[in-house]
Amino acid sequence: MRMNRLHLVFALPVAAILLSAFALRPQADETDAIREALQYYLDGHATGDPEVMAKAFHPSARLQYIRNGEVSIRSLDDYLGGMSGEPAPDEAERERRIVMIDYDGTAAVARIELDYPRAFFADYMQLLKVEGEWKIVNKIFHIERK
């Protein structure tokens, strides 16, 4: 019994040191890199430029939303093809913000709000780290008309 207590006396501090070393192990903070991908999305909206917007997305990305009570799915090509290439006439009155970013490893989610004069959008992005870069792979959104 005495031997077990002696082992325990030495084992606990060693375990505490090892656990603290793992807890203090620096992990790469990916928030700025994720924010960069989301900024391409915001800049694409601000400029109306599909080439800028495309930098935010993985080519296989889809956009999904509810329209007339049904799930609608839009391809990235269709979405980019609908962009004018010019800022919206009311661009000065539009506000956009990244509200939340959460990630683990190579997967991330983000919430973006687009507050426009005639509508409010809540965009929920799913991102993956692909070949070292964060890309939006799926976007779901809700729109409220004003």
In a domain, 18, yes or no: no
In a domain, 81, yes or no: yes
* pLDDT exceeds 70 at position 135: yes
In a domain, 22, yes or no: no
* pLDDT exceeds 80 at position 27: no
In a domain, 8, yes or no: no
* pLDDT exceeds 90 at position 107: yes
- Mean of the per-residue pLDDT values of the chain: 87
For the chain, the domain total comes to 1
Long-range pairs for 50-55: beta carbons < 8 A, 24 or more residues apart:
50/80, 50/81, 50/83, 50/85, 53/79, 53/80, 53/83, 54/80
Looking at residues 105-121, what average pLDDT do you find? Answer: 97
Taking the model in full, what pTM does it have?
0.79
Long-range pairs for 36-45: beta carbons < 8 A, 24 or more residues apart:
36/134, 37/127, 37/133, 37/134, 37/135, 37/136, 38/98, 38/101, 38/110, 38/112, 38/125, 38/136, 41/112, 41/125, 41/136, 42/96, 42/98, 42/112, 44/83, 45/94, 45/96, 45/114
User: Closest Cα partner for 114 from 135, 145, 136, 71?
Assistant: 145
CB atoms within 10 A of CB 30: 17
* pLDDT exceeds 60 at position 63: yes
Banded pLDDT at 21 (limits 50, 70, 90): very low
Domain span holding position 113: 27-145
Q: Which of 14-18, 31-35, 37-41 has the lowest mean pLDDT?
A: 14-18
Between CA 128 and CA 57 the distance in angstroms is 10
CB atoms within 10 A of CB 114: 18
Mode of pairing for the β-strands spanning 57-67 and 133-145: parallel
* pLDDT exceeds 70 at position 1: no
CATH number at residue 67: 3.10.450.50
Banded pLDDT at 29 (limits 50, 70, 90): confident
* pLDDT exceeds 90 at position 23: no
* pLDDT exceeds 60 at position 16: no
* pLDDT exceeds 80 at position 2: no
* pLDDT exceeds 90 at position 12: no
In a domain, 107, yes or no: yes
